[in-house]
Structure 1
């Protein structure tokens, strides 16, 4: 089989893998949905002091089982603590002790000069509210015994910085005092240390909890290649639920997990609850909730004797999904599978090394585009033995074309005999008809690993190359359709083919011309002639970095193929075999 047919095979495999691999390898559901029987047993469990099932946290959208059913004025603004770090800006509301205002100061919504900072968290009560809260559940069920979503806290400082923690306080007026010390580091991790002081003459049962609430449903890319929505690790297993999953199923619930983490993830950002990694959780949930979505956890009941104090420490990650930052936190705090917050996919054995290599080359060159070019050269060198074998076989195939055509003409009415003679010729001329496929198999995996890396990692976001390519993670928008922007018209994406995809199509066409020409029927010939055009349109919607890789890879392949084939042809001529 000539390499021309192998290109058809490669094209078919590439398209099939791109559009099908996520559908075929979607992460299976690791946990079964919890049955209604769990809820039905909750009252009995509370009475027996087994687990705080119904004494769970609540948000502004529903009643809190331990909070006063307060009037509307109890939701008024009573002040906030300002948050200032090298990465974050915002505030912590004293109403309910909510993290509900957070900007990522080093990340912009676009590449415009006046672009606003990315906003992660939003005020409770707004149409797109997005906030986190920590607190306590208690076995005593009277209203106002523990702080709720509208409780008014006090603070010992009006600013929170990496050098200045803040301690919040709330007293229930019935002998129990609650303290919450909040610390933040230089990046995106908050540490929340909660304390309960029992000044009553009775033993209490309490349980710390954390929750994240998000109103509405954010706009997502909707691609299987990237998970957006609820995510968590329970009992050492990663669980991912899209917004549509929670819409259809209602909720996911895990019980008896130790440590772990849970949150809501976007493409580049996330808000994540991280309980004490040694604490046993009574329950953790991801759910659709009153016009929005929510994740929460509650630990097991803990006894608090009269006159005693109980402490609990949790963490809250709110920020950009920077690979090195998340890896550092996973190691520092021993957070199980925290690195999976970045969706490396099923090909992570290849995706992560490619990212590591690209990032190292970026640190050396200072440009991710140059890093992609250098990485392509390195990959070419690694695959050189396969390519060398393939191109040598193709050279033999090209030199043997007159003999092949003669056999096809002689045995055109005897297909079986033709096949036998062709196999004999291949053996004599040292032609491996499958050799052309060998380099393509690893190239397919490399292509998708690079695609995944460019698509999901924030390190590639808004990274320029040279000239008109200002964002390697976005498609090339410079198109001849509007005379490269001279005509004030924004053409539809379907026809707005960028310069880089056009160059890729040209290099693909040039590479075709080097391949041995075999006899094909008219349909095959038409398919082959249109392949560069088809791939030009397909690749037009891909990130510039990926098209840059393919174009550069084609150019290197052309140079490598030309050199090897010329050298092999000269060698065979010297031996009198050409």
Structure 2
């Protein structure tokens, strides 16, 4: 049993090291300083550079000025929006506007999501103008050709009808004439969710053939604050067809040359946050060249862009391309729908399912099914836990039976350890013979813990990365399953007005988890080794502190799983004829331990331990001599 417990503790300690490192060392990074409020906004267009080799402004000819306010300073978001003419966007899911100066999608709010769990808090801002702090926008257009042909750029003022408004049922049409025989027309539509479609047409009245290459980009000005979690990617992302999924963090791209991917077919690219993303999706059969880049400066720039194959437009003809922009929440059902209905390959990978997606995604679908039925993700977590326990019941049942058998032969094991106390090799040989004779697998007890590891990690992943869990309530004081338990033992649950450090975030549910874990460990007697006893006794306390700052949904899962495990193990052990003295084991934990040098109370040996007493090595005492009483066995 001791050997078995050593392996269990090793596995548990491994979990503690992994998650302890994540939350106490590589946890949420300190909020970085916001970019300076006065700087020149830099932009970069695929295929266009200035004479000095620096990136040029979007859609402009080489050497033109960047799209920034005249005085070179950044504005507030509200002032930046008010400074240019716009076409309003109003749908069920999003609201904002299209900037007629440049034709950019640079003002977007997500109507269904708020900053905090408070329903009166502001809605999430996804996109903002380049001339504002934290500029973030998506853009489609034409790369300026080498012959100097004028194409729409960052300073182009598009024309729209006075009553134009983009809704899910009414597209908008933007037009611009370059004054040299080319008329550009852009028709923008949006579905009820987060997908924008842009059809760009060019009427060629120049009297000669024109070649224009389309491009698309997602640009972010300034480096956002990211969580820094190793299980979640935030930064530049794209599916590059045969080159598979590419994920590049801001830190990795900073100061490095651009990353290029050529000949990409059927891909998509953009920038992703934890719950939101913006991506451009090239359409058509032709391959595109993709680039991830960083431009250093007072306000750093990060950009995912693509350049398509040149489109040849004969004199008097009209050429057209159609591309998509996704800007919204990474809701699983919506991304799956775009993947299947619009044939966007691997578009669901905008959500970071991780290497074990084949386990994590089905777990989410199962939880989502129960959520739709009961309307509460907390209940879904409880039911999924029961199902997981049922699926692994045969294995767990076998493990608990083996543990029960080991407990039944504990007296014999104790007798063998005492008999061969000075011969460890012989002791192990006899113990292995006992295991073989009684058909006991000494490693079987680690399976209940080992089974929990992938389930625990996958559930942690689901709760942490999926937007469906964001602000999802349970019951009582748990209003957000993706956030830690808001109560705190060290404030007497709100009676003391102070904010404890991150390590002391011990709420009611973490306490319940610690107690259930402690009770589960009391099902078995403590190991004989004092060092193992210390670990055995302090492990629930360590886990309580470690999981205190974890999402409440995960702590609820762990507590419920512990409760089910205690019940399951108790029933199986009783059915195997084992005397489960759970109450006695619990009470013994509070008994006063003897001080150093103080003799421990004599333990009553089980009958099985005395069945084959150790033969005495001493000869019988002669009559009339003084006998020394034998030492009590410990």
- Give the TM-score normalised by structure 2: 0.81
In the TM superposition, what is the alpha-carbon distance from 1:65 to its structure 2 partner? Answer: 2.4
Partners of 1:538 and 1:19 lie apart in 2 by 6
In the TM superposition, what is the alpha-carbon distance from 1:527 to its structure 2 partner? Answer: 1.3
Q: 1:396 to 1:70 in 2, by over 3 A?
A: closer
Q: Is the 8 A contact 1:260 1:277 kept in 2?
A: no
In the TM superposition, what is the alpha-carbon distance from 1:140 to its structure 2 partner? Answer: 4.3
Q: Secondary structure at the match of 2:522?
A: helix
In the TM superposition, what is the alpha-carbon distance from 1:442 to its structure 2 partner? Answer: 2.4
Alignment of 1:206-245 (within 5 A): 206-236=212-242, 237-245=244-252
Partners of 2:182 and 2:65 lie apart in 1 by 19
Q: Is the 8 A contact 1:280 1:299 kept in 2?
A: yes
Task: Indicate the larger mover: 320-329 or 420-429.
Answer: 420-429
Q: Is the 8 A contact 1:203 1:304 kept in 2?
A: yes
Cα distance per residue 1:2-37 (max 9 Å; x no partner): 45334312312323554789xxxxxxxxxxxxxxxx
- Is 1:278 aligned to 2:285, yes or no? yes
Cα distance per residue 1:136-187 (max 9 Å; x no partner): 1243442x70010010000134210011000100110000010000000000
Q: Secondary structure at the match of 1:255?
A: strand
Task: Tell me the residue number matched to 1:560.
Answer: 568
Q: Secondary structure at the match of 1:428?
A: helix
Task: Tell me the residue number matched to 1:485.
Answer: 494
Partners of 1:577 and 1:346 lie apart in 2 by 51
Task: Tell me the residue number matched to 2:551.
Answer: 543
Partners of 2:457 and 2:18 lie apart in 1 by 9
- Is 1:253 aligned to 2:249, yes or no? no
Cα distance per residue 1:81-124 (max 9 Å; x no partner): 00000000000010000111000011000012420000000022
Q: 1:482 to 1:78 in 2, by over 3 A?
A: closer
Task: Tell me the residue number matched to 2:274.
Answer: 267
Task: Tell me the residue number matched to 1:148.
Answer: 153
Q: Is the 8 A contact 2:86 2:98 kept in 1?
A: yes
Cα distance per residue 1:522-548 (max 9 Å; x no partner): 222111111111111111111100110
In the TM superposition, what is the alpha-carbon distance from 1:241 to its structure 2 partner? Answer: 0.4
C-alpha RMSD of the superposition: 2.5
Q: Is the 8 A contact 1:504 1:551 kept in 2?
A: yes
Partners of 2:370 and 2:474 lie apart in 1 by 14
Partners of 1:341 and 1:78 lie apart in 2 by 32
Cα distance per residue 1:202-256 (max 9 Å; x no partner): 1111111111111101111001100000000113311000000110423211111
Q: 1:527 to 1:313 in 2, by over 3 A?
A: same
Q: Is the 8 A contact 1:397 1:516 kept in 2?
A: no
- Is 1:199 aligned to 2:205, yes or no? yes
Task: Tell me the residue number matched to 1:528.
Answer: 536
In the TM superposition, what is the alpha-carbon distance from 1:270 to its structure 2 partner? Answer: 0.4
Task: Tell me the residue number matched to 1:166.
Answer: 172
Q: Secondary structure at the match of 1:208?
A: strand
Runs of 4+ with >6 A deviation = 70-76
Partners of 2:284 and 2:365 lie apart in 1 by 28
Task: Indicate the larger mover: 307-316 or 154-163.
Answer: 154-163
Q: Is the 8 A contact 1:84 1:160 kept in 2?
A: yes
| 5+ residue gaps, structure 2 | 23-45, 72-79, 581-606, 610-634
* Residue in structure 1 matching 2:61, options 59, 65, 69: 65
Cα distance per residue 1:515-573 (max 9 Å; x no partner): 254432x222111111111111111111100110010000000000000001101699x
Partners of 2:476 and 2:313 lie apart in 1 by 66
Q: Is the 8 A contact 2:277 2:330 kept in 1?
A: yes
Larger Rg: 2
Q: Secondary structure at the match of 1:249?
A: coil
Q: Is the 8 A contact 1:4 1:516 kept in 2?
A: no
Q: 1:84 to 1:135 in 2, by over 3 A?
A: same
Task: Indicate the larger mover: 75-84 or 351-360.
Answer: 75-84
Alignment of 1:98-117 (within 5 A): 98-117=104-123
Cα distance per residue 1:355-377 (max 9 Å; x no partner): 01000011111110011000000
Q: Is the 8 A contact 1:326 1:338 kept in 2?
A: yes
Partners of 2:105 and 2:375 lie apart in 1 by 36
Task: Tell me the residue number matched to 2:88.
Answer: 82
Task: Tell me the residue number matched to 1:124.
Answer: 130
Alignment of 1:482-521 (within 5 A): 482-520=491-529
Partners of 2:287 and 2:573 lie apart in 1 by 65
Aligned length: 542
Task: Tell me the residue number matched to 2:483.
Answer: 474
Q: Is the 8 A contact 1:231 1:265 kept in 2?
A: yes
Partners of 1:477 and 1:61 lie apart in 2 by 47
Q: Secondary structure at the match of 1:154?
A: coil
In the TM superposition, what is the alpha-carbon distance from 1:62 to its structure 2 partner? Answer: 6.9
Q: 1:534 to 1:19 in 2, by over 3 A?
A: closer
Q: Is the 8 A contact 1:277 1:335 kept in 2?
A: no
Partners of 1:571 and 1:130 lie apart in 2 by 66
Q: Is the 8 A contact 1:55 1:138 kept in 2?
A: no
Q: 1:59 to 1:127 in 2, by over 3 A?
A: farther
Task: Tell me the residue number matched to 2:74.
Answer: none
Q: Secondary structure at the match of 1:181?
A: strand
Q: Secondary structure at the match of 2:254?
A: helix
Q: Is the 8 A contact 1:277 1:334 kept in 2?
A: no
Cα distance per residue 1:373-402 (max 9 Å; x no partner): 000000011111111111111111112111
In the TM superposition, what is the alpha-carbon distance from 1:430 to its structure 2 partner? Answer: 2.6
Cα distance per residue 1:41-75 (max 9 Å; x no partner): xxxxxxxxxxx84489x998678326965996799
Partners of 1:348 and 1:235 lie apart in 2 by 19
Partners of 2:408 and 2:56 lie apart in 1 by 77
